[in-house]
Amino acid sequence: MNDLATLPDPVALTKRLIACESITPARGGVFDVLEAALVPLGFAVERFVAGEAPDGPVENLLAVRGRGGRHFAFAGHLDVVPPGHGWASDPFEPVVRGELIHGRGAVDMKGAIAAFVAAVERVPSDAGTVSLIITGDEEGPAIFGTRALIDRMAARGLSPDLCLVGEPTSVNALGDMIKIGRRGSVNIWIDVGGRQGHVAYPHLADNPIPRLVAVLAEIEAIELDAGTEWFQPSNIEITDITVGNPATNVIPARASARLSIRFNDLHSGAALAARIEEIAQRHAPGAQVVAKVSGEAFLTPPGDFSALIAAAIERHTGRAPELSTTGGTSDARFLSRLCPTVEFGLVNATMHKLDEAVAIHDLQRLSAIYADILTAALQPAKA
């Protein structure tokens, strides 16, 4: 293992980033801090704002160092979820207690961004092309964040060979898990219309609830698949049923439901939405069905990239990471369209929780791991 004492320290930058209140969508100060850290390292930094209300505006940062050779991209986000109430200290004032730095974003994912910046300091500027793809809107709608960054990269002719997303993928200890894929996600709203009337005169009304119940019953009985080699089974969950009828003697005019489907790479969001539409129209002709696909499933099959990452992790932690596709969505679902994409970062036990914290030693080791990954990834591809 490398001597951590000889490595650039990511702790100070982690603290400066935490100190910037950057509830999604993040703008301004937190990007100023990151830009100030990148420019002395030779990065050309471009910041831009995309989108309008209600899902924008969103600030993004694209930083590039080097020209030619292999191109390695690190991706992440500076926005954080609202801290909530009940913290032991100000969530945007980094506080060290024992061996932990507490603050919102410590592990999700300001610490990983700081670790990557520290890692770049160890890599010669002529080793290849390095870019940072950083958004202020991963925790929010994610409409004008990484997708806008990908468009900006395409306009500039930037095409990474490999991409690492610094999400907190470790579960119990740093390096015990990396993500090589994620399931897709689609939310679907079903609205069934009827005709309001008095319950004593049902022939003069049209109750939409039985039709909606029939729709949901068929949907609930669906078994989409039994899983694949790398993915758990897809699942459909009914997440809301709404009638909004305060009266006991009134047949309502409308009944609505919402579904959330998490699906593996046997399906597409559009195909699943079409299947739900067909069921709804069969039981409730004229029902309104609206689907929003927030991401398709993706898989970076195990190979040279995941092996490279695993080797760096084992070198510094002694652990052989599990390759996984579990968990929710991340911006890797967009970046995977560009090149092989893998996620690896800090321990996720406190993300989105009160008193979120990162171990100082984990920050230092993560920086060393990232440096090894970056060094190896920039080596010329084998013929």
Q: Which residue from 213, 225, 233, 209 is spatially nearest to 279, judged by alpha carbons? A: 213
Backbone angles phi, psi at 339, to 5 degrees: -170, 170
278 a catalytic residue: no
Would strands 71-77 and 162-165 be described as parallel, antiparallel, or unpaired?
A: parallel
Q: Is the peptide bond before 141 cis (omega within 30 degrees of 0)?
A: no
138 a catalytic residue: yes
Catalytic residue among 79, 191, 356, 362: 79
Other beta carbons within 10 Å of 197: 17
For residue 319, the one-letter residue type is R
* Residues making up the chain, counted from first to last: 383
Catalytic residue among 59, 108, 137, 138: 138
Active site residues: 79, 138
